[in-house]
Amino acid sequence: MMEGTVDMGDQDSTVGIRRSATVVLVTLIAAGCTHNPLLGKWSISQREKEMSASYLDELTANVKGSTGATEIDFHKHSIVITSPTSEHQESGVEYSIQELDGGAIDVRILQPRKGDTVKDIDVCHIDASGKRAQLESATEVVDLARIEK
């Protein structure tokens, strides 16, 4: 060992591993790889509010009680809404996730609007257990229950 240097032994490898882990974590966050707890199948357990409006976004229009919709399957870039007689798919969907105090999470569902650059936004409030949620738009409030595989 050279004069004036200190043998760090295993500390060098530990520091290197920590730096590597930090770089990977920052890269994943920057790439938008946040876990989305809304993804997966949900059953519509109750409709609490349903009002008429001159314009409804695709998600809101297709989960109205009159459609008979019973399930919503949220995918990374699309949503599939199922009723006993039909299935509707909405593509081009994006999500914005916000963690709240107590473990609950709000997921904003950004939906493309045909012929416009503005996106429609509905919000889904997911409870801390991840098994119950409330989908809210300007004209509707729908209670959801996660369908376990």
- pLDDT tens, residue by residue, 129-146: 999 999 999 899 999 999
Strand order in the sheet with 78-82: 87-91, 78-82, 71-74, 40-50, 140-146, 132-136, 119-126, 105-112, 94-99
What is the pTM for the complete model shown? 0.75
Is residue 31 over pLDDT 80?
no
Q: Domain 40-146: which topology?
A: Lipocalin (2.40.128)
Is residue 17 over pLDDT 70?
no
Domain residue limits, the chain:
40-146
Q: Give the amino acid at 56.
A: L
SS3 readout for the chain: CCCCCCCCCCHHHHHHHHHHHHHHHHHHHHCCCCCCCCCEEEEEEEEEEECCCCCCCHHHHHHCHHHCCCEEEECCCEEEEECCCCEEEEECCEEEEEECHHHCEEEEEEEECCCCCCEEEEEEEECCCCCEEEEECCCEEEEEEECCC
Per-residue pLDDT, 70: 97
- pLDDT band, very low/low/confident/very high, at 90 (cuts 50, 70, 90): very high
